[in-house]
Amino acid sequence: MAWLAQPPTHRAILLSGARQVGKTTLLLQSIAELIAQGVKPEQILYLTFDHPLIKLAGLEGTLKVWEELRAPPKGLEYLFLDEIQYAKDWAVWLKHQTDFRKKRRIAVTGSSIPLSVEDRESGVGRWHTIKLPTLSFCEYLQIKGIPLPKLPPVSCLLQAIDWPEKDRIRAAESARPLVPHFHEYLLRGGFPQTALVEDVTIAQKLLREDIIDKVLKRDMTALFGVRRVLELEKVFLYLCLHDGGMLDLPTLCSALELKRPTVANFLDLLEAAHLIVKLPPYGYGKEVLRGRYKAYLADPAMAGSVLLKGRSLLEDETRLGAAVETAVLKHVLWAYGPRGGAFSYWRGKRDYEVDFVAEVQGKLIPFEVKYQQSVRPDDLKGQRILCQEKDITRACAVTRDANDFDVVPLEPADKGPACSLLKIPAPLACFWLSQMGQP
Q: In the predicted model, is pLDDT for residue 164 greater than 60?
A: yes
Q: What is the pLDDT of residues 1-43, one digit of tens each?
A: 888 888 877 888 999 888 889 999 999 999 999 999 999 999 9
Q: What span, in angstroms and rounded, lies between the C-alpha atoms of 314 and 326?
A: 15
Mean pLDDT to the nearest integer, 125-146: 90
Domain ranges of the chain: 2-132, 138-436
Residue 90 to residue 96: CA distance in whole angstroms: 10
What does each C-alpha distance from 36 to 28, 32, 101, 105, 262 come to in angstroms? 12, 6, 25, 17, 50
Contact 152, 168 (CB under 8 A): no
User: Residue range 70-82: average pLDDT?
Assistant: 87
pLDDT recorded at residue 286: 61
Q: Kindly report, residue by residue over 208-240, the tens digit of the pLDDT.
A: 887 788 888 888 887 777 888 889 999 999 999
- CATH class, range 2-132: alpha beta
pLDDT tens digits, 45-55: 999 988 888 88
Letter string b/e over residues 86-121, b meaning 16 or more CB atoms within 10 A of that residue's CB: bbeebbebbbebbeeeeebbbbbbbbbbeeeebeee
| 3-state DSSP assignment of residue 324 | helix
For the chain, the residue count is 439
Predicted model pTM: 0.89
Q: Return the DSSP state at 290.
A: H
Which among 423, 439, 350, 427 has a CA at the least distance from the CA of 140?
427
Q: What gap in Å lies between CA 122 and CA 93, rounded to an integer?
A: 9
Residue 123 has pLDDT above 60, yes or no: no
Beta strand ranges found along 222-333 (DSSP E): 245-246, 276-279, 294-297
- Give CA 310 to chain center in angstroms: 22
Number of other residues whose CB lies within 10 A of the CB of residue 431: 24
Nearest to 428 by CA among 420, 438, 418, 436: 436
Q: Say how far apart CA 195 and CA 207 lie, in whole Å.
A: 10
> Residue 83, class by beta-carbon neighbours within 10 Å (0-12 exposed, 13-18 middle, 19+ buried)?
buried
DSSP string, 98-148: HHH-TTEEEEEEESS--TTTS-HHHHTTTEEEEEE-SPPHHHHHHHTTPPP
Max mean pLDDT range (69-78, 106-115, 230-239): 230-239
438 confidence band (pLDDT: 50, 70, 90): low
Cβ burial of 165 (10 Å; 0-12, 13-18, 19+) is exposed
Query: How far is 399 from 391, CA to CA, in rounded Å?
Result: 24
Cβ proximity of 273 and 117 under 8 Å: no
Dmax (CA) of the chain:
78
